[in-house]
Amino acid sequence: MGMTMTQKILAKHAGKKECAPGDLIEASLDVLLGNDITTPPAIDIFERSAFGEVFDKEKIVLVPDHFAPNKDIKSAQQCQKMREFAKKQKITHYYEQGQEGMGVEHVILPENGLVKPGDCIIGADSHTCTYGALGAFSTGVGSTDLACAMASGSTWFRVPDAISVVLHGEAGPYVTGKDVILYLIGKIGVDGALYRSLEFSGEGVAKLSMADRLTICNMAIECGAKNGIFPVDAITIEYLNERVPGGYQAAPEWILPDEDAVYEKTIEIDLSSVRPMVAFPHLPSNTHEVGTFGKIQVDQVVIGSCTNGRIEDMRRAAAVLKGRKVAEGMRAIVLPGSQRVYKQALKEGLLEVFVDAGCVVSAPTCGPCLGGHMGVLAKGEKCVSTTNRNFVGRMGHKESEVYLAGVEVAAATAVLGYIGSPEELN
């Protein structure tokens, strides 16, 4: 029986010629990721278990990004614990606030060239599935799994079934990867790919930028998927060649799916039929096309996060906001996803555009995405956000509401004062 991309990667890292859905395997790991929420409990487990030293100081990446810059004493202590562990263990890839290469974890790992096609990656964060955009198997785990893997360099998986998502055509104006994944989640539901691998293919893939693909894989978990993964093509290689130390010229042929790979089902999407989407409270699957609902007044707009905090997102937002002003009574917060993105946005004059429009420009942080800081919502407030979740109380008070959208819809909403399209500004 043929294997999918995910099954091939898992088989390779388990030292097997093949594996099938449902198999329990132990796989070696190329990258292990932790942040300031999930790493401290993992450190406690690691030290209580007397594991001693980590298996490989080069393969562990620690990023204080959720409640950092620290919002209170507890968050400062969390970061301190991770910082001291990294120093004690001589972790190569520990990223301190403000240093070069720092930012939101799922922005900086690809940006810093730490992810390669065919890699097997875990992270103690559910959106670790982001890295499938680069042809890697990557998935989220708990803090206990992270602790044990830091000691052993491996972890166990149940090999997932796979769903084939075939993309055709080319997206229209103002339609991005965010709209494509919201469309898919709306189509299949928040458990429509439960513990499945979402494997993307089709000629439409070549029409998606790497930023689009990273966004799509980032939100694969929002329909229950174990991981999302794209094939490696010329766009992937170009992206990697600019970021991987020493360059990256070719991807291993073995990660391509077999012609007779078995998929549980196939979903076909015509990208030209996808419109700008908004996910209403309180699920990412509660999707509606922009323009099919009445005016919904909002109090706040957030542009950024591991989903949409890349330089391409900053450029899209600035293109909408340039020469315009944020609506009276509206709060608009822009969070570049990394120091590198921040610096490039500064160089291109994008930050000036945001400030002139009346936005608050924040340091690279997860911040408001999880109701952490720098944009928490009060009772009854509504927010349009380019983040990835809109559950009850996700960004603050349990009676607040979060609407998920792409960058250009979010930027247009900041100007209009209600959820709308950039087309309404023309």
Domains of the chain listed by start with CATH number: 5-271 (3.30.499.10), 275-425 (3.30.499.10)
**pLDDT tens readout for residues 259-294:** 999 999 999 999 999 999 999 999 999 999 999 999
Separation CA 65–CA 418 (nearest Å): 30
What span, in angstroms and rounded, lies between the C-alpha atoms of 228 and 23? Answer: 19
Q: DSSP letters along 178-206, please?
A: HHHHHHHHHHH-TTTTTTEEEEEESGGGG
Question: Of 27-31, 96-100, 117-121, 222-226, which gets the smallest average pLDDT?
Answer: 96-100
Distance CA 425, CA 261 (A): 47
Q: Is 135 left (phi over 0), alpha (psi -120 to 50) or beta?
A: left
User: Is the pLDDT reported for residue 337 higher than 90?
Assistant: yes
**Cα angle vertex 75, ends 72, 80, to 5°?**
120
**What's the whole-model pTM score?**
0.95
Q: How far is it, in rounded angstroms, from Cα 341 to Cα 337?
A: 6
Are 327 and 358 within 8 A, CB to CB?
Answer: no
Residue 251 has pLDDT above 90, yes or no: no
Mean of pLDDT values over 399-409: 97
The pLDDT tens digits for 65-109 are: 999 999 999 999 999 999 999 999 999 999 999 998 999 999 999
Calpha distance 409→163 (Å, rounded): 29
pLDDT bucket at 246, cuts 50 / 70 / 90: confident
Confidence of residue 12 (pLDDT cuts 50, 70, 90): very high
